[in-house]
Amino acid sequence: MATVEKPIRFYGVSDVGKRRDHNEDAFFFSESEHYAILADGMGGRHYGEVAANMTVDVVKEKFASFFPPSIKDLRKTEQTHCADMVICLLDEWIRAANLAVWSKGQREEQFREMGTTVVAVYALPNMAVVAHIGDSRVYHLTGGSFRQITDDHSFVNSQVQSGVMTAEEAQASAQKNIITRAIGTAKHVKPEFKTPRLASGDKLLLCSDGLSDMVVDEVIGDIVASGDPPQRILENLVSEANANGGRDNITVLLVDYEA
């Protein structure tokens, strides 16, 4: 039976923050193609911007050139099968982006240390495919619940998972920005995938750590659940991060499953 597809809207904003003179985050979304992607570059001297933009551009080009029309036909009737196909495609395309960034670093010495995180969402009528590498995050608002659905690929998160640190200790740790998986730092990389179920009224929030390092999850959730218009929600999140110090670039995207 075909699913009646209600509107799924996409919104995004990026801000340089209070401490940086340059924005090394990159993002893109396409409502017509039902996806969003965010990358948070690293490597200093603006080279992180190169890695982030390369990653976003590779995925954009793959969606534009190689996304099979058959998947679009399956959106309303075979969502689980559609999701499986999208996972295969995103896995291949993110690995291709990684190889492109890594290869540039091997060829050109000044880019040797560059890398980037990535999170991507492909939205289906009642579920989504979430892909990620690094510590950029995706949160899910549903009913009265707001939770992070990605697992940070970071040193402190591995310590939390093994019971060495509490979540509060990890948030306060000077080592919280050490990531254990990134685009461009090795020839091969493995994206991680989630497939959350979604309902009318749900929202997915994608963000760089310029938000999550500056604003605790409870406050992020309150702002997302406020009922404000989506673009205002994103502006309020950026304002809150900057009010708390704005130590990094802040990029936030919202995927809104309209009620």
| Confidence (pLDDT) at 211 | 98
| Confidence (pLDDT) at 32 | 95
- Check whether 174 has a pLDDT greater than 80: no
| Confidence (pLDDT) at 55 | 99
Q: Which residues lie closer than 8 Å to 37 by C-beta, 6 or more apart?
A: 27, 28, 29, 55, 56, 59, 60, 118, 119, 120, 121
Query: Of residues 244 and 172, which shows the higher confidence score?
Result: 244
CA distance 34 to 29: 8
Task: Render pLDDT for 120-154 as a digit per residue (tens, 0 to 9).
Answer: 999 999 999 999 999 999 999 999 899 999 999 97
Burial pattern 96-123, b for ≥16 Cβ within 10 A else e, equals ebbbbbbebbeeeeebebbbbbbbbbbb
DSSP 8-64: EEEEEEEE-TTT-SS--EEEEEETTTTEEEEEEEESSTTHHHHHHHHHHHHHHHHHH
Using an 8 Å Cβ cutoff, are 19 and 98 in contact?
A: no
For the ranges 71-75, 185-189, 237-241, the lowest mean pLDDT is seen at 71-75
What would the CATH number be for the domain defined by 8-257? 3.60.40.10
* Helix (DSSP H) and strand (DSSP E) numbers for the chain: 8, 11
Task: Render pLDDT for 38-60 as a digit per residue (tens, 0 to 9).
Answer: 999 998 777 999 999 999 999 99
| Confidence class for position 114, pLDDT limits 50, 70, 90 | very high
Using an 8 Å Cβ cutoff, are 39 and 98 in contact?
A: no
- Check whether 4 has a pLDDT greater than 70: no
Nearest-Å Rg of the Cα atoms of the chain is 18
